[in-house]
Amino acid sequence: MINWNDAKKAFTEYLQIEKNASEYTIDYYQSDIENFFGFLKQQAIDQLELVDHQVVRTYLTTLYEKKLSRRSVSRKISSLRSFYKFLDRETYVEVNPFTQVTLPKTDQPVPGFLYAEELERLFEVSDLTTETGQRNQAILELIYATGIRVSECTGLKLEDIDFDIGTLLVRGKGRKERYLPFGRFAEAAMQNYINNGREKLLQKTANPSSAVFLNARGNPLTARGLRLILEKMVKDAALTVHLHPHKLRHTFATHLLNEGADLRVVQELLGHEHLSSTQIYTHVTKDHLRKIYMNSHPRAKHKND
């Protein structure tokens, strides 16, 4: 028999070591597990192995009573299913009570993306005479050029960039590596930053790093720092959109598909394990497809067109 805290600690170590999960993902798992532990205390259940299918059904009912979205409920159940799968593997419990639970169907949110006009305003906002301006421009150009995630961007090392052939070595989820091409605009911004702005930022620290992107004190840029940079760029550009790094990733995928890129190619570029993860971007291109159809099909146009 294992107590709750030891079970959570063992599962967290499994996520960190075996799954190489990000801190963001681990925080979600821990939050979902703690929420479930709180429910068990209310039900006077003091052992993890006493949880059966009926207990799980009762827990589901309490989640729905809290008016949680289907997406939130689905995530919590998925987290607990993984938690109990680990406990079963380690023989801490005999069965996984979440195995037979059907996850509620979730509405696929349509990813937000930026239009070309909005992007142009962002590309013009940085002061390229300053080291931070050069860095910010390089970040913007690189994320839009490659669609990399925040963690992948902040994790980039100088040796991961090959300017000779215009590619990046990116370390994605689950330690999976992929090579991504980048174009001339990203190359120019990166060369300018690395050869100028980054050298000046390095002079502000006694602990030099091989990280590509540095903060104003010369230390490796964090994910939170990158988000704040993008938020400030939006404010400086006087845009009313809410820009998070993932929206640039969405924009990258959407613009590729709008220009006729193959869905499988976009899947590889984004580092998605399953094609279904990439297919959400087809929803945002339907307006584009409709315009092509209306303008191209001989029987699609109205008489007065």
SS3 category, 167: strand
Q: What are the E-state strand segments in 80-204? A: 161-162, 167-171, 177-181
C-alpha 8/C-alpha 176 separation (Å) is 26
DSSP string of 173-185? GGG-EEEEE--HH
Structure token digits, residue 20? 């190489």
Cα-based torsion angle of the residue sequence 192, 198, 201, 203 in order, rounded to the nearest 10 degrees: -110
Closest of 171, 158, 144 to residue 245, by C-alpha = 144
In the sheet that holds 161-162, the strands lie side by side as: 161-162, 167-171, 177-181
Q: Which of 121, 171, 244, 246 is catalytic?
A: 246
- The angle that helices 245-258 and 263-270 make with each other, rounded to 10 degrees, is 160
| Residue carrying structure tokens 């993902």 | 25
CA within 13 Å, CB half, 26: 18
Q: Which of 29, 59, 144, 281 is catalytic?
A: 281
- Beta strands 161-162; 167-171: pairing state: antiparallel
Q: Which of 19, 70, 81, 272 is catalytic?
A: 272
| Phi, psi of 296, rounded to the nearest 5 degrees | -110, -35
Q: How many residues does the chain have?
A: 305
Active site residue 71: no
Q: Which of 198, 249, 250, 255 is catalytic?
A: 249
Q: Which of 8, 75, 76, 149 is catalytic?
A: 149
Active site residue 281: yes
* Beta carbons of 98 and 56 less than 8 angstroms apart: yes
Active site residue 255: no
Q: Between the CA of residue 302 and those of 291, 294, 296, what are the distances in Å?
A: 13, 9, 12
Instruction: Give the distance from CA 243 to its chain's centroid.
Output: 13
Active site residue 246: yes
Q: Which of 70, 173, 178, 232 is catalytic?
A: 173
Active site residue 135: no
- Beta strands 177-181; 167-171: pairing state: antiparallel
Active site residue 149: yes
Active-site annotation, residues: 149, 173, 246, 249, 272, 281
